[in-house]
């Protein structure tokens, strides 16, 4: 547990040193498939319970820097233990019973990188704005026709309406739909693990129970996809792989059968993958108040004033 605590402190210290951009909370739901193998003496390994399917829920706290680097700390349920029971150690590989272990909670911590948003579909606002900004080829005022290439005098250049439209054209840029890649690597920790081997005697018959896949530390890696639109983060989809590396040492059972001493060695390995979907919530986000442009009162202009503003000719 000391190693796990030091690892978590190191990740958090690295996050604060990087300069934070935002905190976010990510509740997730999904499923996990785990595969537990058993090594019985020197014989080839086998999977006594096959692949175990488990519905999964989790909660993750993310801390992201301005350059996309970040750390995460979370928790999720796990169910990879397989209770492997037998009564005859000499023939336990062929005569045994299996039961899926109880649900456990594990802590997850590690490093995550967030890429820049990748455009999926451009917003239609840009097309609409380009159509609005097109200068009409002809403008009518009574019987006069003004062509678009007519030059404005100094008075028209200083009109407030044209300046305001130019500022609006340089303002907000629509992003549309996007996706962000989120590769990650980290560790999984189960704070309290059960005893690996349990022996029970009932009516003179001894039963040996070996808890395979009873890991307390695991290596984790994964890839996440965060989908959004404009400035909004909609949901995330992640696929993660884990492999148990701690508390999976070889266990030895010694039994006395008459004058003969029998030694049985057991060892397990466990790995699996999960898929989760979640909705991110940004913590401490400041709401931006949009400033509405000041309305300018345009003066009504007669046709005679337009003739002074544009060098145009009368059409027949």
**pLDDT higher at 236 or 307:** 236
Neighbours of 294 (CB within 10 A): 7
Contacts of 225 by beta carbon, 8 Å cutoff, 6+ apart: 179, 180, 181, 182, 236, 237, 238
Asked if the model's pLDDT at residue 274 lies above 90, the reply is yes
* Cα separation of the two ends of the chain: 93
Give pLDDT, residue 1. Answer: 46
Give pLDDT, residue 283. Answer: 86
Asked if the model's pLDDT at residue 160 lies above 60, the reply is no
pLDDT tens column, 16-52: 444 446 899 999 999 999 999 999 998 899 999 999 9
The proportion of the chain whose per-residue pLDDT surpasses 70, expressed as a percent, equals: 66
Nearest to 85 by CA among 255, 269, 208, 248: 208
Strand, helix or coil at 272? strand
Give pLDDT, residue 20. Answer: 45
**pLDDT higher at 291 or 199:** 199
CA atoms within a 13 Å half-sphere pointing along the CA-CB vector of 215: 26
Interval 224-244 mean pLDDT: 96
Place of tokens 């030694």: 263
Asked if the model's pLDDT at residue 14 lies above 80, the reply is no
Using the CB atoms, write b or e for 100-134: b if 16+ within 10 Å: bbeebebebbbebbbeebeeeeeeeeeeebeeeee
Alpha-helix runs per DSSP H in 113-202 = 125-133, 154-157, 160-169
Rounded CA separation 246/214 (Å): 9
Interval 205-218 mean pLDDT: 95
**pLDDT higher at 270 or 171:** 270
**pLDDT higher at 110 or 167:** 110
Q: What is the pTM of this model?
A: 0.69
Asked if the model's pLDDT at residue 134 lies above 70, the reply is no
Q: 235 forms bridges with which residues in the sheet?
A: 227
The proportion of the chain whose per-residue pLDDT surpasses 90, expressed as a percent, equals: 55
**pLDDT higher at 6 or 291:** 291
Mean pLDDT of the chain, nearest integer: 79
Asked if the model's pLDDT at residue 144 lies above 70, the reply is no
Strand, helix or coil at 38? strand
> Which residue ranges form the domains of the chain, and what is each CATH number?
2-120+175-283 (2.40.160)
């Amino acid at each position: 547990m000391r190693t796990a605590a030091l690892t978590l402190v190191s990740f958090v210290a690295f996050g604060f040193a990087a300069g934070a951009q935002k905190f976010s909370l990510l509740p997730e739901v999904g499923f996990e498939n785990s595969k537990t193998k058993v090594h019985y003496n020197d014989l080839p390994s086998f999977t006594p319970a096959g692949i175990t399917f488990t519905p999964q829920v989790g909660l993750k706290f993310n801390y992201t820097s301005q350059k996309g680097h970040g750390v995460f700390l979370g928790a999720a349920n796990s169910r990879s233990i397989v209770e492997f029971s037998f009564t005859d150690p000499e023939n336990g590989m062929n005569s045994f019973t299996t039961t899926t272990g109880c649900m456990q909670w594990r802590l997850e911590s590690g490093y995550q990188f967030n890429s820049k948003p990748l455009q999926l579909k451009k917003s239609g606002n840009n097309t609409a704005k380009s159509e609005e900004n097109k200068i009409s080829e002809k403008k009518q005022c009574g019987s006069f026709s003004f062509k678009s290439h007519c030059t404005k005098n100094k008075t028209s250049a200083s009109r407030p309406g044209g300046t305001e439209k130019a500022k609006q054209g340089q303002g907000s840029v629509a992003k549309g739909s996007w996706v962000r890649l989120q590769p990650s690597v980290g560790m999984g920790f189960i704070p309290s693990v059960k005893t690996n081997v349990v022996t029970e005697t009932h009516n003179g018959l001894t039963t040996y129970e070996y808890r395979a896949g009873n890991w307390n530390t695991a290596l984790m890696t994964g890839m996440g996809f965060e989908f959004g639109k404009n400035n909004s983060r909609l949901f995330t989809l992640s696929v993660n792989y884990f492999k148990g590396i701690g508390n999976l040492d070889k266990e030895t059972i010694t039994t006395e059968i008459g004058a003969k001493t029998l030694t049985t060695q057991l060892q397990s390995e466990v790995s699996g993958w999960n898929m989760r979907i979640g909705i991110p919530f940004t913590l401490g986000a400041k709401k931006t108040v949009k400033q509405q442009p000041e309305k300018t009162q345009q003066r009504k202009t007669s046709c005679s004033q337009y003739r002074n503003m544009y060098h145009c000719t009368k059409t027949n």
